[in-house]
Amino acid sequence: MQALIGTGVALATPFKNDLSVDIEALIRVVNFSIDGGVEYLVILGTTAENATMTHDEKELVIQTVIGANNGRLPLVLGVGGNNTQEVVNELKTRNLLDFAAILSISPYYNKPTQEGIYQHFKAISLASPIPIILYNVPSRTGSNVLPKTVLRLANEFNNIVAIKEAAGDLEQAMKIIKDKPKNFHVISGDDMIALPMVFAGGSGVISVIGQGFPKEFSEMIRLGLNRKVDAANKIHYFFMDCIEMIFEQGNPAGIKHVFHSLGIAQNTVRLPLVKVDESLALRIDEFVKKSNKLS
């Protein structure tokens, strides 16, 4: 997990106007993130809109990112769901040689108990040939993986090496950081509190905004990890308004408009998601224009 400390980015999937996967734009997003200095890439997380992608499209995205990355950075693959056996079967049959870890979301829709969440991840742990990053995002799953459950999993299974904690609750993250095993990592899944979480002892972030502003955001996290508080805070406070903007009308609609403004990719999303409205688009455009002040 040492290689996964710092800034990872949850890659969005660019689409063309006809809603097909835009391979050339995806390659540009990958290169832009790598050239900007991020530490690793996350494929097929929530930001990728994988909920509205076919199996073949997901495979296309995976192979495109592997090829574009060309071994430069560690890769993390999203492998999760609310059907435990289906996730286990995928882990047993998929070739994971290109990946440093999987990112596995807590079961959604079913709303399991804490014991159910524990048993779900136990089954995944027993099936996975590579390290596992738990993913807690109650706003999407309808259930919260409590610190006691995270710590139980972290202490009992050596291949469960980290959590992407996206409850938006710094106190909850600190409870995990306080009592976690030495080699277990707490990674922010919330861009707005990524830096405070690092200051509290977290290991970095799996970011959305980081792929739109990779140079600045990854530098902020590195400064935070090195306890350069004033310099890190300067970047954090500069980006606060933009972080709010990119999530204001849903993810990844906001970050896709950042790509559009930067000329990297179109701002096309698939229903039921829609593009940001004209007012928000203009505000994002204005922020992108002034972001070069940090360069």
Active site residues: 135, 164
Q: What is the Cα–Cα distance from 145 to 128, expressed in whole angstroms?
A: 20
CA distances from 171 to 108, 148, 149, 189 (A): 23, 13, 16, 14
Q: What is the Cα–Cα distance from 130 to 45, expressed in whole angstroms?
A: 17
Q: What is the Cα–Cα distance from 157 to 142, expressed in whole angstroms?
A: 25
Residue 74, helix vs strand vs coil: coil
What's the one-letter identity of residue 250?
G
B/e letters for 193-217, b = 16+ CB within 10 Å, e = fewer, are bbbbbbebebbbbbbbbbbbbbbbb
Instruction: Count the Cβ atoms, other than its own, within 10 Å of residue 93.
Output: 7
